[in-house]
Amino acid sequence: MGYGRRKSNKIGTTLLFLLLAIVFGGCAGFLAYKLPEKVSALKVAKEAVTTFNAEQVALEEELNTHKLELEAVETEVQNKKAQLEKEIAAHPSVNVSDDTNKFAYLTFDDGPSVNTVKILDFLKANNIKATFFVLGKNNQDEIYKRIVNEGHTLAIHSNTHEYDKIYRSVDTFMTDITDLSKSLEKITGVKPTIMRFPGGSNNTISHKYGGTSIMDQIIPAVNNAGFTYFDWNVDSSDASANRQDKNVIVNSVLNGSKGKDEAVILMHDAPAKTTTVDALPQIVEGLRQQGFSFRAITGETEQVKFK
Ligand SMILES: [Zn+2]
């Protein structure tokens, strides 16, 4: 009996060991099978991280290189700009474009008349300012006012335009233009400061009435009275005939203005000067093609004078 019991105990222990061996063996086998797979997956992941880091470093290096290049370009631009500014400062008189500084001054003597109204209408439609050297005339207040209100320069020519009276002496001349100036100021509210001598500052007709030195006496008196006189450097030739041919007027103005930066153009708006009105559209078109823009004469305008 005793022997039999011990034998069965031994069999139980053996079975237990066997069972444990199977369990541990299974686990070990499973681990031995799975671990290398895990390890190699980890290795791949680690390699990927290493590659990623290396790529990031390379990109950062490239970015820094570009930053340096950009800084170099910016420095170069700054240096060039400073150099150009220096050069511009050293040459203040250099004009970028000649055309922006070409000015034509359309001037009309001996009005107002019905032609003045037509000229004002044309100038208004074409957005052009001009200068009117007027005479003293009754019942023309509306035209004097219109000249001022539409932005043109209302300038003195002569109250009477009678050479034998005005050029007799300094006093007779000054009385003539002062009367006109006062009258125009009363009508328009604006005191005229620009004037033009009948016949121009170098006329010789005056010699017959006031002697050969009369203009040399009158000019300082006019300046002292606060007037700035203007002659002209382009003659439309519209006074060379009672009714000058329209094409002659156009060609005289366009040829006379060629090569000038400042063209002060003599024209007339007396009652007979209808062809001057007719010539205006072609004159304006031709001058614009030459690069001129139009201005009215003011105290700021560079004085054009014969003497
Ligand atoms: Zn005149």
**Residue 307 lies inside a defined structural domain of this protein:** no
Distance 293 CA to ligand 1 centre (A): 25
**Residue 302 lies inside a defined structural domain of this protein:** no
Residue 109 a catalytic site member: yes
Q: Which is the catalytic residue, given 109, 110, 176, 269?
A: 109
DSSP state of 28: H
Residue-level pLDDT, tens digit, the chain, 307 residues: 455 566 667 766 777 777 776 666 665 666 667 777 877 888 888 888 888 888 888 888 888 888 888 898 888 878 888 887 777 666 655 444 445 789 999 999 999 999 999 999 999 999 999 999 999 999 999 999 999 999 999 999 999 999 999 999 999 999 999 999 999 999 999 999 999 999 999 999 999 999 999 999 999 999 999 999 999 999 999 999 999 999 999 999 999 999 999 999 999 999 999 999 999 999 999 999 999 999 999 999 999 999 9
- Of 65, 90, 115, the last residue of a domain is 90
Q: CA 302, 306, 307: angle at the middle one, nearest 5?
A: 100
Contact criterion met (CB below 8 Å) for 278 and 206: no
Contact criterion met (CB below 8 Å) for 288 and 127: no
Residues 133 and 64 reside in one and the same domain: no
Residue numbers of the domain that contains 38: 1-90
**Residue 299 lies inside a defined structural domain of this protein:** no
Q: CA 76, 77, 80: angle at the middle one, nearest 5?
A: 85
Distance 117 CA to ligand 1 centre (A): 18
Please provide the size of the chain in residues: 307
- What is the β-pairing status of strands 103-111 and 234-235? unpaired
Contact criterion met (CB below 8 Å) for 232 and 203: no
Q: Which is the catalytic residue, given 110, 238, 268, 269?
A: 268
Residues 23 and 108 reside in one and the same domain: no
Show Cβ contacts of residue 141 under 8 Å, excluding neighbours closer than 6 positions.
187
Distance 125 CA to ligand 1 centre (A): 26
What element of type H or E holds 134? Answer: strand 131-135
**Rounded to an integer, what distance in angstroms lies between the CA atom of residue 64 and that of residue 58?**
10
- Of 90, 125, 141, the last residue of a domain is 90
Residue 66 a catalytic site member: no
**Residue 24 lies inside a defined structural domain of this protein:** yes
**Rounded to an integer, what distance in angstroms lies between the CA atom of residue 194 and that of residue 123?**
20
3-state helix, strand, coil in the chain (%, to 5): 60, 10, 30
Report how many domains make up the chain: 2
Q: What is the CA radius of gyration of the chain?
A: 50
Residues 2 and 138 reside in one and the same domain: no
What element of type H or E holds 264? Answer: strand 262-268
Amino acid letter for position 197: F
Amino acid letter for position 296: A
Residues 283 and 201 reside in one and the same domain: yes
Contact criterion met (CB below 8 Å) for 123 and 276: no
**Residue 170 lies inside a defined structural domain of this protein:** yes
Residues 99 and 189 reside in one and the same domain: yes
